[in-house]
Structure 1
Amino acid sequence: MPRVICLILGGGRGTRLYPLTKSRSKPAVPIGGKYRLIDIPISNCINSGLNQIFVLTQFNSVSLHRHISNTYKFDPFSGGYVEILAAQQTMQHESWYQGTADAVRRNIPYFTESRYDLVLILSGDQLYRMDFQDMIRTHLENKAEATIAALPVAEEEAKACGIMRIDTTGRVIDFEEKPKTPEKLARVYTSPEWMEKMGIVAGNRPYLASMGIYLFNRATLVQMLASGTATDFGKELFPQAIEGHRVQTHLFDSYWEDIGTIGAFHKANIDLTRENPPFDFTFGDHPIFTRPRYLPCSRLSGVTVNDSLISDGCVIGRGSVIENSVIGVRAQIGENTTIRNTYIMGADLYEQERHLQENLRSTRPRVGIGSDCIIENAIIDKNARIGNGVRIRNEAGVTEFDDAPHYVIRDKVVVIPKYTILPDRSVI
């Protein structure tokens, strides 16, 4: 078997996920109540038998570093590791990474000092489950120099993706970044009949979109990075690879979500609460790993819960109703509170008794959600203090709003940032 090194890109500023990325990088954003986005690619690597992993970080990376160091510990005999490669000034480079390809280029010494055959490059902010051994097999059987994972998509989705055209062997022969005109779409059209011959039932999805998952021969990747100035994989390096190298597609047709916007992030979490969710964290053979916190069981007193996920260490008061929602670790929710279509991220710590007494004297709400609240279609970030009788509903159906000091609205979703304090009877 070839030796494979995995590089996970820690993401840029994450402006489209703001304010969730105000104090953390995209891969560190909590998802599914108790996980972080970075847990997805790392778990996929481990479940695929790949345990030598570098995570390349730059922006707001402290919480990401802390999570990785507290979670991924390998025994000394396996040779496995998850190691951080943080952006740094060197004698050759004094600036920040200029893009995904530039980040990998600057870290070439770390994956060439040992004898690796293949380099697997992954994003740190996607939700999917994949056995990378299948992709490695596709790469080797076709004697490819580079292989890219591809997903069939419909026309509207194609306009926002990098789209490939392939020949009868699955080799990539053309690529168009975000084709919006009929002429460009026609150039990268793949007939559903042809996809069916390759084992994909495409239906009304006649375009093959890049998933941003790349597998390179190490020598090919080093040569391309060293001889060029490309700063981004999707926009520059991958199109260049098509011209002079054998680039193969690895077709994938299961759930995959790029967590790029607040709307997509909110939907991905609420979808987890369905009876048959499109992505299921409870998947025995290929689990998603995360930090073990050793929290107590959640305590629910006379609570009505429908189609929801309740994480560890929560306390939910009598008479409350939780519907189609995800409740994160250590969440404290008062009595007679209704929460619908909402992701409550919970808290980092339990408040000590002396802090609770200070809250009573200062009339500051405790960490969590107060009593008699109604919260719908929202995201409440960690350690927020929501007082009693608060209403968060966006009844006016506002799509975007940035001017309030304590909240923002993105894609009609109300987002309460981390550490926010909302006084009693606030209305949003």
Structure 2
Amino acid sequence: MAKNHVLAIVLAGGEGKRLMPLTMDRAKPAVPFGGHYRLIDFSLSNMVNSGYMKIVVLTQYKSHSLDRHVTRTWYTSPLLGNFIAPVPAQQRRGPHWYLGSADAIYQSLNIVDDENPDYIVITGADNIYRMDFSQMVQHHIDSGLPATVAGIRQPIEVASALGVIEGKDGHVDRFVEKPQNPVGLEDDPTQVLASMGNYVFTTQDLIAALREDAEDPLSKHDMGGNIIPWFVERGMCGYYDFKDNNVPGSTDRDRDYWRDVGTLDAYYEANMDLISVHPVFNLYNRDWPTMTLLDGSLPPAKFVYGDEHSRMGHAVDSFVSPGVIISGGEVYHSIVSPNSYVHSWAQVTDSVIMHGVRVGRSSQVVKTILDKNVVVEEGAIVGVDLEHDLERGFTVTESGITVVPKGTIVTR
């Protein structure tokens, strides 16, 4: 099968309410991650590394920065007919925006008609993982079934929060949302197979399902909630076990790494995973790179002042991006994004610092997410007194992470 018979669709219209205030001014897939990436870079890198170069990104919610990022970063030459294109909601099927993920694809069937692919790969835009989708597509073809859903093994005790696949020999018998009495896997009763939100469809069968769903006034027009059950009820859905996916350069340790970063705590923990001494998700896998585009005008990171008895600019157990200046400040177990500045005698610990942040002299930032262009004034403290952080209007998560919105000035 030639790979140009596959159209990839990335669903990137999510509002991401649970990531507020990080999604106050941007779509969830555009949220920065790991220093200089954005969440969508992981999904697009998987598609490109899989050999799929005809990709549409369906956007809707506050999509300007996302559209700009995709257009500038993921530009491809049209010489071979390749494209990675953001497609905003256009009300093609009536005077309404996307009603759900299935409706987003239904409203974009003109693209499917134009490309006329044999198979369609559909994935979300806001999870952290590596996956070779060409292996899943081949599994789909070999199965002879019209629909295939990717599943990841999860502990049975968390099944009540997941969409669970029940079946055997690659065939889905039931698809249950948030089951209260889940059934463990035959080869491991302590686990269930949870949907990853990644799908492969034979094109004409998907079109038929979408058209029927569009006519159903009771449908929520959701891929996982309506379209997959539509195929399951007809005995037409298979599953693909993520543990069988072999990504070049991966190890047994990171084979089935997958993180949903839908909450602030999960987002923070996934960032911290990256900077552990032996991270499970290794960004240094050169055989399956996670790609993005940096501003080519950025100079290297700089660390200045080396007097250990007075002030020393240094970073330990951290990611420090291009354009960063650590001028006599200290950074521990943190991620510092491009164009940020840490001034003398400042301390940044266990934190995520986004683009263009200024951390003033003698200030202290602990277990905090500072969104873009935040200014921490000289002597200010954030992330230490959580009650004070709440009084100042900052978000504090259940696990005690302080989140400071974009452009905020943090005073003493």
- TM normalised by structure 2 equals 0.90
Q: What amino acid does structure 2 have at the position aligned with 1:413?
A: I
SS in 2 for 1:268: helix
Aligned to 1:213: 198
Q: Distance in 1 between matches of 2:402 and 2:31?
A: 17
Aligned to 1:356: none
Q: What amino acid does structure 2 have at the position aligned with 1:303?
A: G
SS in 1 for 2:315: strand
Identity of aligned residues (%): 33
SS in 1 for 2:7: strand
Q: Distance in 2 between matches of 1:270 and 1:326?
A: 8
C-alpha change, 1:20 and 1:164, in structure 2 (3 Å) is same
Counterpart selection for 1:45 from 44, 47, 70: 47
SS in 1 for 2:199: strand
| 1:135 maps to 2:128 | no
Q: How many angstroms does 1:304 deviate by?
A: 3.3
Counterpart selection for 1:79 from 81, 106, 126: 81
| 1:414 maps to 2:402 | yes
Q: Are the aligned partners of 2:12 and 2:124 in contact in 1 as well (CA < 8 Å)?
A: yes
Counterpart selection for 2:258 from 242, 256, 271: 256
Q: How many angstroms does 1:119 deviate by?
A: 0.7
Q: Are the aligned partners of 2:382 and 2:389 in contact in 1 as well (CA < 8 Å)?
A: no
Aligned to 1:277: 279
Q: What amino acid does structure 2 have at the position aligned with 1:324?
A: H
Q: How many residues align structurally?
A: 384
Q: How many angstroms does 1:403 deviate by?
A: 6.0
Counterpart selection for 1:232 from 222, 243, 252: 222
List per-residue Cα deviations over 1:24-69 (Å, max 9, x = no partner): 0000000000000111111100000000000001111000011111
Q: How many angstroms does 1:142 deviate by?
A: 1.2
Q: Distance in 2 between matches of 1:29 and 1:178?
A: 27
SS in 2 for 1:120: strand
List per-residue Cα deviations over 1:348-393 (Å, max 9, x = no partner): xxxxxxxxxxxxxxxxxxx511011111111000011110111112
SS in 2 for 1:60: coil
Which range moves more in the overlay, 260-269 or 156-165? 156-165
Aligned to 1:197: none
Aligned to 1:27: 29
| 1:383 maps to 2:368 | no
Aligned to 1:360: none
Q: Distance in 1 between matches of 2:98 and 2:397?
A: 28
Aligned to 1:311: 321
Q: Distance in 2 between matches of 1:332 and 1:132?
A: 39
CA-atom RMSD, angstroms?
1.7
SS in 2 for 1:335: coil
- For residues 356-371 of structure 1, the aligned pairs below 5 Å read 368-371=358-361
List per-residue Cα deviations over 1:241-280 (Å, max 9, x = no partner): 1011421111113100111100000000011001111212
- TM normalised by structure 1 equals 0.86
Aligned to 1:363: none
Q: Distance in 1 between matches of 2:268 and 2:190?
A: 24
Structure 1 runs (4+) deviating above 3 angstroms are: 401-406
Q: How many angstroms does 1:292 deviate by?
A: 2.8
Q: Distance in 2 between matches of 1:245 and 1:82?
A: 34
List per-residue Cα deviations over 1:264-308 (Å, max 9, x = no partner): 000000110011112122210111111231111000123232211
Structure 1, unaligned stretches of length 5 or more?
195-201, 348-366
Q: What amino acid does structure 1 have at the position aligned with 2:196?
A: M
Q: Are the aligned partners of 2:325 and 2:342 in contact in 1 as well (CA < 8 Å)?
A: yes
Counterpart selection for 1:372 from 331, 340, 362: 362
| 1:178 maps to 2:187 | no
Q: Distance in 2 between matches of 1:402 and 1:299?
A: 30
Q: Are the aligned partners of 1:152 and 1:205 in contact in 2 as well (CA < 8 Å)?
A: no
Q: Are the aligned partners of 1:257 and 1:268 in contact in 2 as well (CA < 8 Å)?
A: yes
SS in 1 for 2:18: helix
Q: Distance in 2 between matches of 1:74 and 1:277?
A: 31
Q: Distance in 2 between matches of 1:125 and 1:405?
A: 29
Aligned to 2:288: 286
Which range moves more in the overlay, 50-59 or 65-74? 65-74
Aligned to 1:298: 301
- For residues 7-18 of structure 1, the aligned pairs below 5 Å read 7-18=9-20
Q: Distance in 2 between matches of 1:154 and 1:18?
A: 28
SS in 1 for 2:48: helix
Aligned to 2:207: 222
Q: Distance in 1 between matches of 2:395 and 2:353?
A: 16
Q: Are the aligned partners of 1:322 and 1:338 in contact in 2 as well (CA < 8 Å)?
A: yes
Q: How many angstroms does 1:394 deviate by?
A: 4.0
Q: How many angstroms does 1:126 deviate by?
A: 0.5
Q: Are the aligned partners of 1:146 and 1:245 in contact in 2 as well (CA < 8 Å)?
A: no
SS in 2 for 1:166: strand
Q: Distance in 2 between matches of 1:403 and 1:206?
A: 39
- For residues 336-347 of structure 1, the aligned pairs below 5 Å read 336-347=345-356
Q: What amino acid does structure 1 have at the position aligned with 2:383?
A: R
